[in-house]
Amino acid sequence: MELFALKGFNSTSVADLLSRTQLNSGSLYHVFPSKQDVLIGVLEAYRDGIEAMLLTPAWGGVADPIEKIFALLAYYRMGVVMTDCTYGCPIGSLALELHEPDPPVRDLLAANFKAWTAAVERCLDEAGDRLPANLDRDALAQFVLTTMEGGVMQARTHRDVVYFDRAVGQLRAYFEFLQSDARTKRRAKKGAS
Question: How far is the C-alpha of 159 from the C-alpha of 83, rounded, in Å?
Answer: 10
Residue 117: what residue type?
A: T
Give the CB-side neighbour count of residue 108, counting CA atoms within 13 A.
22
Q: Which residues of 149-162 are buried (b: 16+ CB within 10 A; e: fewer)?
A: bebbbbbbeeeebe
Helix axes 35-48, 103-126, angle to 10 degrees: 10
Nearer to a copy of itself, 36 or 146 (CB): 146
CB of residue 11 vs DNA: minimum separation in angstroms? 7
Question: How far is the C-alpha of 23 from the C-alpha of 30, rounded, in Å?
Answer: 11
* Window 123-142: contact mask with a copy of itself (x via CB under 8 A): -------------x-xxx-x
The listed partner (a copy of itself, DNA, none) that binds 192, CB under 5 to 8 Å by sort, is: none
What is residue 53's DSSP assignment?
Answer: I
* Window 41-70: contact mask with DNA (x via CB under 7 A): ------------------------------
Q: Is there binding between residue 187 and a copy of itself (CB under 8 A)?
A: no
The listed partner (DNA, a copy of itself, none) that binds 31, CB under 5 to 8 Å by sort, is: DNA
Q: Which of residues 59-78 bind a copy of itself (CB under 8 A)?
A: none
Q: Is there binding between residue 149 and a copy of itself (CB under 8 A)?
A: yes
Binding segment for DNA among 27-35, 48-56, 86-94, 103-111 (CB under 7 A)?
27-35
Q: Is the dihedral of CA 43, 138, 73, 130 positive or negative?
A: negative
CB of residue 126 vs a copy of itself: minimum separation in angstroms? 19
Residues in touch with DNA (CB under 7 A):
12-15, 23-27, 29-31, 33-36
